[in-house]
Structure 1
Amino acid sequence: MNNESTTVSAPHSLEQLLKTSPELQDQATLDGLSDLITKAAPIIQGRRLHNIIDLLAATSDVIEMADDNMVQKLMALYEEGIGGAWAISNALRYAAVQAAHDETPPTIWQSLRRLSKDEDARRGLSMAINLAAELGRQAKAANGPMPED
């Protein structure tokens, strides 16, 4: 087999490409290309097209790296996040409805008395205190001295 017979000679200039390409003989195609070039010119001139190409390359890299285990982990993370947001949303909605049914809001002392008697309220308060402590620990660690390598 001769490779020279199967290769197509590349056009040497844009003018030669315009003359030899049947797709570029259509006026609607030329008008569309003209509009596209007009809109793309500022992006090309400002070198912002480079960013788009880099984004496409990064997206391609992520797609190539995405094996079944990675997809499963991302799906589990998504489900946990949505489940957590849904649980918090429902709890807030339920608490708001309960508070709206009270004709007059309870006094601080009534709220404290309820807190001391209600196991779920105490557990929720304990969770909030533990969350605040964990956030404080992370804030301290984030602003502390950097460990040496």
Structure 2
Amino acid sequence: MSPDSAAAESPSTENPSAERHSTVQVPFDPAKPPTTIDVLKNLKVEEFKPDNLSRLPCLKKSMLYGLAAGSSMGLVRFAVKRSPRSAGDWAMATFAVVAVSSWEFCRFQRRLVQKQMDALVNTNEAEGPSAAKSMPQ
């Protein structure tokens, strides 16, 4: 066994966190989108660890927006009504509405940017390599 093949077969020793941050590959057929049952069958406990959740796009920002809005609404409601239960209910409802709506809006923006990037890539591929040579550097 040569040293090159041993390095290719063993995990990288330079980046020990590479194994820890591996993603789960799920087969995807564009002709047949996965059903909810297919998705639920492929869920693993490791996917819900805090380390993995923090890498989800838009999650951190939307949770912070929800937390800030919910806390503010809870404090205002408590100052006005002096009822901790009412303040808590309003705080939780506000947190949920703001967190979900800001997460959906962020995901919507990411999809728009992805579509624009795909269109640019397709345009560049259609023009071919001669267009890249004629572009100023």
TM-score of the superposed pair, with normalisation by structure 2: 0.30
The structure with more radius of gyration: 1
Structure with greater proportional helix content: 1
TM-score of the superposed pair, with normalisation by structure 1: 0.28
Q: More relative contact order in 1 or in 2 (CA 8 Å, sep 6+)?
A: 2
